[in-house]
Amino acid sequence: MLDYDREAAHYDHTRGGLSRARAAASALDRLIPGPGVVLDLAVGTGIVAADLETAGHRVIGVDLSAGMLAQAARRLPGRLARADAAALPLPGSCVDAVTAVWLLHLLDDAEPAIAESARVLRPGGWFVTTADKAAAHRIASGLPPDDRPRADGCALLTTLGARYGLHLAAATSFIGFGQARAGGSDPMYPVLGFRRIG
């Protein structure tokens, strides 16, 4: 994984800046029914979370990187914690939605983060996450998807979600402005919405 403490100062402008963040937040907002309390896993610099707030949600965030959280503190003061998505410092059933943009592909195993997301979600709440990031980049570069297993693969996430009462119920996508690789176009990132049943 990248050293996000070192990335932090350059992260926003190298990841498409506000255009990418707004596109991502708008995709999340489309899949979260109504304003509520949203836990943003891997909140990073808070650039996406800040736009979710503009859309009317109350956002709290966790991240492993102190450097990223220092940037996010300008945007979400007092609503951040340094924590692993696989061990959330929150009680059960306390948030309306959990979001994860560009997190699960970084993990060796997405299951602990999914289990924790299900635990902190109220019944009927939504877990909304990006998926199949590598496939999005391959397609945008004119390559077919490969069949390497990935921690953020749509089929795997659907299976793991169901194990914890999170049922795939909606999907959308957003354009990754500024994320094109040499000779390619900006990728279209899939976003999946899982509803907590029970």
Going from the C-alpha of 152 to that of each of 54, 62, 100, 106, the distances in angstroms are 27, 19, 11, 8
CB nearer to ligand SAM: pick between 167 and 173: 173
What are the backbone dihedrals phi and psi of residue 48, each rounded to the nearest 5 degrees, phi first?
Answer: -80, -45
The answer to whether residue 153 forms part of the interface with ligand SAM (CB under 6 A) is: no
**How many residues bind to ligand SAM according to rule CB under 6 A?**
20
Taking the alpha carbons at both ends of the chain, their separation in whole angstroms is 35
One-letter identity of residue 35: P
Does 140 contact ligand SAM by CB under 6 A?
A: no
Q: Which stretch binds ligand SAM (CB under 6 A): 81-89, 117-125, 156-164, 167-175?
A: 81-89
Rounded Cα–Cα distance for residues 167 and 195 (Å): 5
Regarding 44 and contact with ligand SAM (CB under 6 A), the answer is: yes
Establish if 177 lies at the interface with ligand SAM (CB under 6 A). no
Distances (CA, A) of 193 to 32, 33, 38, 109, 182: 8, 11, 14, 19, 31
- Of the candidates 85, 95, 110, 192, which one interacts with ligand SAM according to CB under 6 A? 85
What residue ranges bind ligand SAM (CB under 6 A)?
4, 15, 24, 41-42, 44, 47-48, 62-65, 68, 84-86, 101-103, 106
